[in-house]
Structure 1
Amino acid sequence: MNYTYRLDEINLNMISVVGRKSAYLGELYKMGFDIPPGFVISSAGVNEILKDIQPDINSILSSVNLNNQSDLEKKSGIIRSLILNSKISEEIEEEILERFNSLNSRYVAVRATVTSPLSGSSFAGEYETDLFVTRDNLIQSIKRVIASYYSPRAIAYRLLSQDNSGMAILIQNMINPTVAGTAFSLHPVTEESDYVFIESAFGLGESVTKGLVTPDQYIISKATRSLVSKRISKKVVKLVYDYEEKRIKTIDIEDNSESLKERDAIKVANMTIAVEEIFKRNVNIEWAIDGNKLYLLEVRGVRKIYPEV
């Protein structure tokens, strides 16, 4: 196999090959963190998928007018259409499907992972994420995630910043959380580093990362590993997967109960602190609880609002 790697084959020296998200998760996976198993289509694999249409993509990008939003959106649409309608070589398709079969999972999550360091630019929802993807839909899902690399926002950012970071694709067993959210190893507003700041809500974590709900908030002391304060919000929606309709649905709810028990909030804090200590820098993680098990889904660096000189 040439274009894919299992998570347990990945280390921190492979960011340029498998992307930042995958490299950090691979390193933590081997350390025993509860991370859904999976594999990565390398940046070389993504390049191979785009090989036949890359000259056309480059030609279109060279004529983009960033001062004309209509032109940007039109050319973004043309590029994404090229990708979605492209043909993947049998060699790489067979390799991808063989890796999928080895996961022994009916559903996977398909995410982009950029080939820039943990300290590089990043934000939640930067590129497309596909959830509950089946084997039959996997190849088209991969193309859809690759196409998101050429969204108007992504094109504009890379052209303006001259960022040439590539993309790899992370594919992992799908979990179906009862509660999920994010955690910061310092307060994202006050920048106090003595606490872990947690946000959580019922259902899939995208309701938090996409700002669909006002999440519950928990602050945990790093020194005592105890709850300092919490703010429970009225949750009006949650995202769930409907197995019969085979799609993610937004369910209206009116739930004033807390989404995270205190002991689980402390578990999330402990996980966040452990990741921070390993990488020796402030981190933002995404996590989810499926059944009684806490999973680590993503690690990002945190840039302070007022950087130190």
Structure 2
Amino acid sequence: MIIPLTEATPENAGAKAAALGRLIRAGFPVPPGFVIPTAAYRSATAHPDPSANPDPSANPDRSATGHASQFDAGHLSQSGTGRRHRDVVVSAWLVDELAGVLDVLGESSVAVRSSGSGEDSAEGSAAGQYDSYLAVEGLAAVVAKVQLVWGSLWSRRAVAYRLLHPERTPEIAVIVQRFVDAEVAGVLFTADPRTPGGAAVVEASWGLGETVVQGLVTPDSYVVHAAGEIDRRCGSKATRRDRGAGGDGGGVVSNEVPVEQREKLCLWDEQLRRIARLGREVAELMGGPQDIEFAVENDRIWLVQTRPITAPLDAPEQQPQPTDDESVLRGVAGSPGTASGPARLVRGVEDFGRVEAGDILVCRFTDPVWTPLFGVVAGVVTEVGGRLSHAAIVAREHRIPAVLGVSGVMSAVEDGQSITIVGDMGTVTVPGLLRS
């Protein structure tokens, strides 16, 4: 039942896997791999193992909060199967198949990634809504991650996202690929409609791309114009993620970035032009502007994901006029619009119960688990993150303003204090703020 990634189609493996398969067939640099198709998920859910007793703590999204108001109502009622299907286990015959194809792939470390039926489609990105795992080592670890990826189809965040983008029959495939040990990784929007000629926009940071897509750092930002000129803005790249030391199924670790590297751009001009050129070629193949994730390993550029741009940077980033107003904090324009309301400081899922309609979510960064909040709040402010991160994309899809990378905002703003954010300019106004 397992198929090569080159044979993936939207019908048998979801849009994400199908796009990667199409890139490979066209000769683009995509890590090799295979797909556990949606048919395997259907088979597993049709014949669940009654002896299975998964540990819900293995997936923190299942028990993240006891708050059961706007985040739980109806979220697991689709087809009446959500709670049962998220605990499906991998059958013995599929484990045997996995053992064989992993041997053929011959990689000591792989990425285990979701490809949901509505993920990476023209209708919705589902950015960060389903689980993926990097640097997975060994058959047992791969099997465990496949089960978690299947289960993520029915996580609170994924079901809440699907309320905006309904699917007739939610299903999920699983991609297993060679893991890329990235020195630098990031995201490319192949065409920014806000710029003459639709320049390419790149955000990147040291290490694995998780830090950029999850908004864990404020990345370096580049605009690569059609004529070759490049605009650059150095980010505050304080942390990086890399493959761990191995053992116990592999995984990734976080480390601090040395100060001298934080202040150094992570991509040079020739790499940026190669990335932009690959992006143009992918967009031509796929028939429209693309949101592409890439990784650089030993100066080789790998493409690890491409999807249609569902949430474009659709408003010119307005440059705020110089001002002596000490109450204005500045960050990255993530999603257009203006909103005023009480700041709700959220440090973790334990704070979700305090969030009310009309609040402005203020946080260090947003985890995909937090997606249900985006359907409640009037706007989002983060201390770190870029405009191509999952948080920014989902904010634009929800049509709420977002300002990202506002250094120190968690200390500058008091919980419940009235603030105003302007997503077009990347500003947060905090009345009465006095800087030290």
2: CA distance between counterparts of 1:197 and 1:27? 23
1:218 is aligned to 2:225: no
Q: 1:251 to 1:122 in 2, by over 3 A?
A: same
CA contact (8 A) 2:187 2:202 kept: yes
RMSD, matched Cα? 2.9
Give secondary structure in 2 for the equivalent of 1:201. strand
| 2:97 aligned partner | 95
User: What is the CA–CA distance in structure 2 between the aligned matches of 1:162 and 1:54, rounded to whole Å?
Assistant: 28
Aligned residue number for residue 14 of structure 2: 19
State the Cα distance separating 1:49 from its structure 2 match.
Answer: 2.2
1:166 to 165, 168, 171: 171
Check the 8 A contact 1:218/1:227 in 2, yes or no.
Answer: no
Change (3 A) 1:305 1:288: closer
| 1:125-153 CA-partner distances (Å, limit 9, x unpaired) | 12111111122211111001111111112
Q: Which runs of 5+ in 1 are unaligned?
A: 56-65
1:273 aligns with 2:280: yes
Change (3 A) 1:244 1:172: closer
Alignment match of 1:186 (pick from 172, 187, 191): 191
- Give the deviation of 1:114 after TM superposition: 2.0
> Within 2, Cα distance between the matches of 1:127 and 1:40?
16
Structure 1 residues 96, 247: CA separation in 2 closer, same or farther (over 3 Å shift)?
A: closer
Aligned twin of 1:8: 6
Tell me the TM-score normalized by structure 2: 0.61
The question of whether the paired residues in 2 share the 8 Å contact of 1:185 and 1:193 is answered with no
The corresponding residue for 1:62 is none
State the SS of the aligned residue for 1:265: helix
Counterpart-to-counterpart distance in 1, 2:161 and 2:225: 37
1:154 pairs with 2:158? yes
**Contact 1:19-1:115 at 8 Å conserved across structures:** yes
Please, which of 48, 51, 55 is the counterpart of residue 46 of structure 2?
A: 51
Query: Aligned-pair distance for 1:73?
Result: 8.2
Specify the alignment match of 1:34 in structure 2. Answer: 29
Instruction: Find 1:201's aligned residue among 193, 200, 205.
Output: 205
Higher relative contact order (CA 8 A, sep 6+): 1
Following superposition, the deviation at residue 202 of structure 1 comes to 0.2
Pick one of 125, 131, 134 that aligns with 1:128.
131
In percent, how many aligned pairs have the same letter?
A: 25
TM-score by length of 1: 0.84
How many residue pairs end up in the alignment? 288
User: Which has the larger displacement, 176-185 or 249-258?
Assistant: 249-258
Kept in 2, the 8 Å contact 1:79–1:147? The answer is: no
Which amino acid in the other structure matches residue 186 of structure 2?
Answer: G
Counterpart of 1:247, as a letter, is G
**Which runs of 5 or more residues in structure 2 are unaligned?**
51-67, 316-436
